[in-house]
Amino acid sequence: MYFLFVRDAVICLLEDLTIILYLVESTGILTELDRVKLSGRGTGKQGAIAWAGNSLAIITGDLSVRIWDIERSDNYLLKMDQSNSCHLAGMSSSLATSSSNNNNHNHNNISTGILFSPESSGESNGNLTRKVSKYTQLASNEIFTCLAYSTSNQTLCAATNLGNLYTWKRTLSCFVGAPEDAWQLGNISTLSRQGAVKSCTWGFNELSKPCILANCLSSVYMLKEQPLLAAHTRSLWAVQSSAKCVQLTHCSGRQCTVQADFAVTALALNELNLVVSNGRSISTYSLQRVEKTLDEFEEILEASGVGVGSTGSSSSASPPSLSVKLLQTFSGECLALGLQHQNIFCLNSSDIVVYSVGGVVLHRIMGNDVEGKIIGMDLTGCYLAVFTMNGYVKAYDVTRHDPKLLFPSKSGHEIFDDFGEFIVVKCNSLGSHLGVVIANSSFTPCASIYCWDFERNNLFEYDLTRSQPETDTDSRSSLAVRIFWDTEEPRLLAVEIRSMVMQKLPKQQQLQVPTPSHYVESQILVMFYSDKTDGKLNVLESQNISQGAQLLNLCVPSVVCVQVNAVQEQPLQDFADLQQCDAVTRRQVLNFSLHVAEGQMDLAFRCVRSIRSKVIWTNLARMCVHTSRLDVAKVCLGHLEQARSVRALRQAMEDDDLELEAKVAVLAIELGMLEEAKDLYKRCQRHDLLNKLLQSTGQLDEALKLAETEDRIHLKHTYYQKALALRESGDLKGALDYYEKTQNPVQHITQLLLEHPLAMKRYIQSTTDPKLLRWWGQYVESSGDMDAALAVYSKAEDWFSQVKILCYLGKISKADAIARQSGDRAACYHLGRHYENVGKFQEAIMFYTRAQTFSNAIRICKENDFQEELWTVASSSRSRDKAIAAAYFEECGNFRHAVELYHRAGMLHKALEMAFESQQPEILEIIASELNAESDGELINRCADFFGSIEQHQKAVQLLAKTKHLERALSICVEKGVPVTEELADLLTPSKGDLPETMRLSILVQLGDLLQQQGDYHSATKKFTQAGDKVRAMKSLLKSGNTDKIIFFATMSRQREIYIMAANYLQSLDWQSDPMILKHIVGFYGKGQAFDSLANFYAICAQLEIEEYQDYAKALVAMQEAAKCLEKLSHAQHAYNKLQRTVADVKCILEMQQSLQAGDNLSVIAACRSMLLKPELPPIRHAHILAMLVRALVYAKQFPEAGRALKELAVKDNSWSASGLVDRALVQRVAKECDLDFELIWNSGRQTNNSATTTTTRAQSTISMTTTTNTTTTSDDEADDEEIREELN
């Protein structure tokens, strides 16, 4: 009886093997919930129950254990057979990363829950197959007598009446299909061969680890759980089969069992020796060296039926056994063992002792106070890795008598950022790197694998949390439990990963709770390091392992695992068909794998050129899909002897219309990589090829979705393929629906339903497809039922078929109405033939015309001389029919209709000849308006001559210009004076490419001259510009007098001559009152580099300032600008010097004016008299100096002298008073003081001269101080000056 605390229930087993479940009420009353009657050979006294987690374990007096899952209301029997192999399934490969590692002799303890009794011995030879068969053939009288379950390790044990103890371990490795698969039978221990096991129970030993206490009548046994020991080398491996027995197996198939004198807790193995220990004593054994050829091995294996990597044997012919000899047993504390040649490395509680196989102490490796005592070691080949209590690690080379330290001991705190302690430390076969698993500062194991290059102090890391991210359905936490370097390749290592997967169940499912929410997964990662990976370990491939299997060694070409006393070798992916290969091939294939993982296709290809392995070439070809190396892929397919695939790939490579991704997709399809092919087609947007791939692989629904969204051009074909698939599957209704969506459903639907007449008739009655109805009408018509066929044709709106049947039935009026109303050409033609046959020609002509069969209508008109009808029909007919009708009219003498029809038919020559002969100018004008540049030149000239003969030169020019006869058109314009409008000028302008460039420019110049003669200067300028003659264009524009256009044209032309011409023109305008014109004059002279003209302009400005305003200050500024211009002329030195003298005189006058304003009259008087002694040189005038002298004398009160100066002024300038040189008041004062007649004096200065003569004289005198540009110079300054003056004049 058991009490269930969770459900407040009691479970009872009755004598008749009935199990009752009672609910315990709060009042203590028992309420029966369930009752189960069990079947069994015994009674209730021979039965027993035990609570096993959430289930009830039951025995009923036979050799079976039944589990009753109360929560699920399910029951099942536990399996009584053991797994004989470690099935490694789901092997995957990571081709994105690469490297390699190796390790030579590995001998390690494998922690498997195996229970060994003290009396379990080697009487069983340890062969698991034989052992299983022993217990499979169960004695009929053996029954289970008692049960016990341990909740700590979830193990159920059941004892029998023959002294055997069975143990099942409940696993959470994965979700299983059947609940009984979660229980795995472990070791079967024999406790007593004379007595039965009366009772058994679980307890704990001194280390708080679970153990079993078994009462066997005469004695009581305690069974403890210890790790399963195993060791592996390339040719030899050892597995502990019982507490004192170790089974040795050679790769040749030879086996033997070593019986130790004590329970084995540590084990070490190499090719020559076996070492075992129980923690207090060490025994060494010598092994026979096996030297057999490979042929002999194969014969032995074939005879024994043993595969490489398996310790089982099922053949009656047993292979020879191994020879094992005990060498020595000696005392020594031992926590871990290592064996290298003849040296034994033994880890005790404080240090490492090195023994010989005879038990002699050779060396001792001890820790110091700083490092702490040694707590862990590992021996890989000839390199020993050691870590201490205080977190220090070091490695030794043990090939010599005294171990050699490879590097100074290093603290884990210096290597890792977050470090607590070392868990596993292993050295590779080269002695250059350490594989490390650590705990963090909180002493929690880190979910990372480290590889430390102690020679370069580089740390490689692989983060398990990043490599196995959480998903929406589960989350996982992973830890590395074992690490093994490869026995030969120093870069390659294998890591066993245990992952706890927590399933994220929905809330509704969490409330039901029928399934566990977590489970454990085991996985082996084959990894490697590389200097090219920036501190990251790369995964070469991964292999899933089943529950109970554990990693034992990495020995290329295989990953070695152990499960239930069985050693299993699972080859690496690239060694699938190369397990039995020599060392050279093994090295080549391994290098190939690493190069492929690194993406180095060329190096990988070189490694396997001579290897004949379809797996290798297949893997290389698959890698070519990721690297897009089609050249290498073609070679790989050739080695795979796939001629069809090579041909398909070569055709794809030669197709220039295919993108690179599409070509690679062809390779992926040939290799069966359909998902990769889909991704490639999507990447290059080749939805048509993707649709074709989906159709060929039977994924029609996905193909339909793609066609409806991306590949609509093949939508109807996709519908057709879907219809075919439904037709083959017998779904006629679905096939009909998709046939209706195709482009031509009639053919397919009729073929589909032709064998089902009734279904065909029902479908036709419900359809509205005209094509399908027309087919059905033809089918009915072929059977002779004309009325039914007419009804079907009417529903299908097939007018021709209706008219045909009505004519056949003689219902002409109804057929005529249908033909007139529908306008169907076929119906009209059929009815027209009928009318022609019965002699109704007018009706026949009408229906032939409606049917657009004009030749038949014209034929009837000609035969019956219907000219009016012929003209009507021919006007709307084809060109060929028009020509036929025109020839008929020509024969009849009707030239007007003939000419017009010939013209409409495109026979222009014929039409012109006839028009000339029949004198029809109006037709000629119409024909000429339709001529173009592609028309016949002779025809164009004839029309032009005709227009000239009737004095219509404007039309002749228009025709010639339109047809690009430009030279003749221009000649007519010149000879006949035809005015050229803007539209005609555009027609006369040749386009680039129509004529040779010289001829085109010549025509443009002629056209420009013509336009200039007619006064259209703007259009002439445009034509000259198009001809590239901008100078003539500017001259034409100057004649127009449009100042704005002249300025714009000069600005855009950017030519020196045009700048000068524009400035000269602007200078002729009223630039004194318009500052913008003045600015453009200066700018244009400057851009045209006409510094002589610019200097002359500045001189004129100075002259005007003096003459008009007596402003010598502004005149001085203008003269200085003129001097700057003359400085830029090398041949104007004489003019420059003369100008400088004039500038000096002007400055002197300005000083005199300043002195006069300051009141220094005497100095002004002296200066004026000095200036008057000099000859008068423009622009300085003596009249201005005399006026200043008069003012100074008056201010100095020298009135007589002022009077004389005033008389002299009147002599010099008879308009001095009119020009305001002297104030009137000042003159009155002089006249008063000198007693002179004021009116006489004042009027003497009011006489005027011819302004034009004065201005010309002054301009000529002004120009004498400037110069102009000349291409020739002389050394004589006077001659040069005279030449410049003449040029300016």
**DSSP secondary structure of 190-234:** E--SSS---EEEEEE-TTS-EEEEEE-SS-EEEEEEEEEEEEE-S
Whether 157 and 212 have beta carbons less than 8 Å apart is answered as yes
pLDDT digits (tens, 9 = 90+) for 1030-1060: 777 777 777 767 777 777 777 777 777 777 7
> What confidence score (pLDDT) does residue 484 get?
93
The residue with greater pLDDT, 1246 or 490, is 490
**Which range scores top for mean pLDDT: 128-137, 314-323, 703-712, 1016-1025?**
703-712
> What confidence score (pLDDT) does residue 374 get?
92
Cβ-based neighbours of 11, under 8 Å, separated by 6 or more: 1, 2, 3, 4, 19, 20, 21, 22, 49, 51, 56
The residue with greater pLDDT, 401 or 232, is 232
Whether 597 and 97 have beta carbons less than 8 Å apart is answered as yes
> What confidence score (pLDDT) does residue 6 get?
62
pLDDT digits (tens, 9 = 90+) for 1076-1127: 777 777 777 777 677 777 777 777 777 777 776 677 777 777 777 777 777 7
pLDDT digits (tens, 9 = 90+) for 886-906: 778 777 777 777 777 777 777
The residue with greater pLDDT, 1276 or 990, is 990
**Which range scores top for mean pLDDT: 188-197, 364-373, 636-645?**
364-373
The residue with greater pLDDT, 682 or 1000, is 682
Q: Which amino acid does the sequence have at 767?
A: T
Using 50, 70 and 90 to split pLDDT, how confident is the model at 377? very high
> What confidence score (pLDDT) does residue 956 get?
74
Cβ-based neighbours of 56, under 8 Å, separated by 6 or more: 2, 11, 19, 49, 50, 67, 68, 70
The residue with greater pLDDT, 1136 or 350, is 350
pLDDT digits (tens, 9 = 90+) for 213-261: 888 877 888 888 777 889 999 889 999 888 888 999 988 888 899 999 8
Q: Which two tokens stand for residue 567?
A: 């050693």
> What confidence score (pLDDT) does residue 106 get?
46
- List the helix and strand counts (H, then E) for the chain: 50, 44
Using 50, 70 and 90 to split pLDDT, how confident is the model at 496? very high
Of the listed ranges 340-349, 567-576, 656-665, the least confidently predicted one is 567-576
Closest CA to 1246 of 1264, 1227, 1261: 1227
> What confidence score (pLDDT) does residue 312 get?
39
> C-alpha dihedral over 1035, 1041, 1047, 1049, to 10 degrees?
-40
Q: Is the pLDDT of residue 1281 over 60?
A: no
pLDDT digits (tens, 9 = 90+) for 62-114: 888 988 887 777 888 888 776 543 333 333 332 222 333 333 444 444 444 45
pTM here?
0.50
Q: Which long-range contacts (CB under 8 A, 24 or more apart) does 727-732 make?
A: 727/752, 732/759
> What confidence score (pLDDT) does residue 396 get?
94
Q: Give the mean pLDDT of the chain.
A: 76
Of the listed ranges 274-278, 493-497, 557-561, 906-910, the least confidently predicted one is 906-910
Does an H or E element contain 901, and which? helix 895-904
pLDDT digits (tens, 9 = 90+) for 121-136: 333 333 333 333 333 3
Q: What is the mean pLDDT of residues 280-285?
A: 93
Pairing of the two strands 47-52 and 30-37: unpaired
> What confidence score (pLDDT) does residue 43 get?
61
Q: Is the pLDDT of residue 1068 over 90?
A: no
Whether 887 and 899 have beta carbons less than 8 Å apart is answered as no
Q: Which amino acid does the sequence have at 1192?
A: A
Residue appearing with tokens 């892929």: 633
| Radius of gyration of the chain, Cα coordinates, nearest whole angstrom | 60
> What confidence score (pLDDT) does residue 95 get?
25
Pairing of the two strands 55-60 and 66-69: antiparallel
Q: Is the pLDDT of residue 1276 over 50?
A: no
Closest CA to 1011 of 1026, 993, 994, 996: 1026
Q: Is the pLDDT of residue 1182 over 80?
A: no
pLDDT digits (tens, 9 = 90+) for 1211-1244: 777 666 666 677 777 777 777 777 776 666 676 6
Cα–Cα distance for residue pair 160/146, rounded to 1 Å = 7
> What confidence score (pLDDT) does residue 413 get?
92
pLDDT digits (tens, 9 = 90+) for 712-749: 888 888 888 888 888 778 777 777 778 777 766 666 77
Count CB atoms within 10 A of the CB of residue 388: 22
Q: Is the pLDDT of residue 982 over 90?
A: no
